[in-house]
A and B are shown apart, each in its own frame.
Chain A
Amino acid sequence: MTLSVALQHRFGGFNLDARFEAPAGITVLFGRSGSGKTTIVNAVAGLLRPEAGRVAVDDLLLFDTAQGRWLPPHRRRIGYIFQEGRLFPHLSVRQNLRYGAWFSPKRGTPAEFRRVVEMLGIGPLLDRRPGALSGGEKQRVAIGRALLSSPRMILADEPLAALDEARKSEILPYFERLRDEAAIPILFVSHSAAEVARLATTVVALENGRVTRQGPAAEVLADPAVTPLGARAAGAVLSATVVRHHDDGLTELDAGGTPLFIPHLGAAPGTAVRVRIAAHEVILSRERPVGLSALNIIAGRVQEIRAGDGPGMLVSLDTPAGRVLARITRRSAKALGLGPGTSCHAVMKSVAVAPEDIGGPVRNTSPGLH
């Protein structure tokens, strides 16, 4: 299933003109606040009526000004996970979860209910009321409520923004499971680079109401032109598989033939993982460094150099493992004589792992391995 969106809307001097496609998996709408993310999501849900455009899930038209079609929100069957949960305070958790099924043509089976409750770990909460839940619990129930309305697709508008780091890492694995198990498109709004790196299958970057870049996550994130949050948040995402666990507590990964070493990861050999390498954690060297404590070094070729504001530059390297970004100073770039095509080595001070198929707590960043 694919969601296709084309929208034009003006309000208060702001012009939204966005067009993109979201296939199955998680499509992250990425951009600063005020870039139009929530407007798009609300238009897809039918909570806002844009001036012109077309929204469709596969062949089903939800909205099309050309044909004068407008499906009201209650007939769209879209599971919307709101930032603030929006659980019904007068109903128990169980009743909240069943709310969507009351109106769904496909009544959820008890087995389906049990499966979702178990996946989200909310069994012990069923008879409580939302007022007695913690922020993370509320959000898990909100996810369950959206899932159990047998939706055509899921919308999630910064569902983690209101939570602290600990709660975030409690919820993130559920979205990963959702991405891997559900065959429906999930449109996920975020302005956090870490969330994007960890969750996104597809990335749609928004700036001032316009789509500046869209495509597979690895491609878009490694594009130095796409730094909606500034160069500090820039970083590349590499796909890797677990090779083996070494006796000294290290786990060896394989990224396109290049070995990468990270602290022990609780995942069986063969497991696919995503590795995020922040641009400011990468050092460049023309020669293969000798006598250096860093374990992870990849050889590559400079593909592009982009100047930002201030003394920094963003260098993108083509390596066998994929695209790697490095943030270095203008002075170093000059001293090294870097230019497109120059071969050099990327020395990675730290490698962050976003376990894809592991439901456990997130290991956000592995400290520098030397």
Chain B
Amino acid sequence: MDWLGPEEWQAVRLSLRVSLWATLFGLPPALLAAYALARWRFPGKQLLNGLVHLPLILPPVVTGYLLLLTFGTRGPIGGPLQEIGVVFAFRWTGAALAAGVMAFPLLVRAIRLSLEAVDPKLEQAAATLGASRPWVFVTVTLPLILPGIIAGAVLGFAKAMGEFGATITFVSNIPGQTQTLPSAIYAFLQVPGGEGAALRLVAISVAVAMSALLLSEWLARRAQRRVSGT
């Protein structure tokens, strides 16, 4: 695509990759957290609830800085991980981690809402038919919350695409490595004559966000039709 400069194209590709990984890796823990919050009773449930939602309320810069402290090369988690070759600081993986953390509350919320809408009586019926708990989850609960999972995933993906504050604080703004779409737009706006490139990236952002929303609507409606049983 020649209407996009190599640097701009790089930012677009990086952003898609970062958001995809952030969403994929965020989904399983989000499912677990949503299930725990919706179904289990345990001490510290409110604490977990608070922790999950924290990135939604904290200034993104704070989240980014906390990530830098814990997942930086000298951080309590980042340090040991570096030993085994996993590095987050100033890499695209760090951008994915930051985006994943910021998108996490949205994933959990959407999945939790759909979990709470599942009739436990259907799960009981499955148990009387011989399904153990894990099987009940796989054959009844999971298919029924699929629309919620899809909605959450798409929302999380869109959020990850737009993540700026935590990313730039945690992994800086290195072209080709950590310069995602929003970081690139910001960088282009800082240099004279960069408005054209910034505007093109803005258009791409809008297009990606819009198609993500439309896709999720379409998928959710399909899944809902399946689940409502008609």
Contacts and interface: CB of A to CB of B under 8 A. Distances in A.
Given A74-B132, A86-B121, A90-B144, A99 B126 contact: yes
A47 B229 contact: no
Contacts of A88: 122, 125-126, 140, 229
Nearest to A84: B121
Interface of B: 121-122, 124-133, 135-136, 139-140, 143-144, 226-230
Interface string A86-127: 111110000000011011100000000000000000000000
A129 B132 CA distance: 24
Given A82-B121, A84-B121, A103-B135, A89 B127 contact: no
A185 interface: no
Task: From A73, A75, A131, A145, name the one whose CB has the most chain B CB atoms within 10 angstroms.
Answer: A73
A46 B133 CA distance: 14
A89 B126 CA distance: 12
A343 B23 CA distance: 86
Nearest to B144: A90
Nearest to A155: B128
Nearest to B228: A131
Interface of A: 45-47, 72-80, 82, 84, 86-90, 99-100, 102-104, 129-132, 145-146, 149
B229 A90 contact: yes
26 contacts: A46-B127, A46-B128, A73-B127, A74-B127, A74-B130, A74-B132, A74-B133, A75-B130, A77-B130, A82-B125, A86-B121, A86-B122, A86-B125, A87-B229, A88-B125, A89-B144, A89-B229, A90-B229, A100-B129, A103-B129, A103-B130, A129-B229, A131-B228, A132-B229, A145-B129, A149-B130
SS of B interface (majority): helix
B18 to A, nearest CB: 33
Contacts of B133: 74
Given A88-B122, A90-B144, A45 B128 contact: yes
The 9 closest A-B pairs by CB, nearest first: A103-B130, A131-B229, A89-B229, A131-B230, A100-B129, A86-B125, A80-B128, A73-B127, A129-B229
A90 B143 contact: yes
Contacts of B131: 74, 99, 102-103
Contacts of B228: 89, 131
Contacts of A87: 229
A74 B128 contact: yes
Given A86-B121, A90-B143, A90-B227, 11 more contacts: A73-B127, A74-B129, A74-B132, A82-B125, A87-B229, A88-B122, A89-B122, A89-B229, A90-B226, A103-B132, A131-B230
Contacts of B140: 88, 90
B121 to A, nearest CB: 6
Nearest to A42: B124
A130 B229 contact: yes
A149 B125 contact: no
Contact of B129 (A46, A132, A149): A149
Contacts of B126: 88, 99
A316 B153 CA distance: 70
A79 B230 contact: no
Contacts of A77: 130
A75 B129 CA distance: 9
Nearest to A148: B129
A99 B129 contact: yes
Nearest to B142: A90
B79 to A, nearest CB: 45
A47 B128 contact: yes
Contact of A73 (B122, B128, B143, B226): B128
A99 B139 CA distance: 9
A132 B227 CA distance: 12
A129 B124 contact: no
Nearest to A100: B129
Contacts of A99: 126, 129, 131, 139
B127 A47 contact: yes
A75 to B, nearest CB: 8
B182 to A, nearest CB: 38
A80 B125 contact: yes
A84 B125 CA distance: 11
Contacts of B143: 90
A131 B228 CA distance: 6
Nearest to B119: A86
A267 B129 CA distance: 37
A78 to B, nearest CB: 6
Contacts of B229: 87-90, 129-132
User: Looking at A89, A131, A145, which has the most chain B CB atoms within 10 Å of its CB?
Assistant: A89
B227 A76 contact: no
B98 to A, nearest CB: 36
Contacts of B128: 45-47, 73-74, 76, 78-80, 149
A363 to B, nearest CB: 34
A94 B170 CA distance: 53
A332 B152 CA distance: 75
Nearest to A150: B130
Contacts of A82: 121, 125
B36 to A, nearest CB: 21
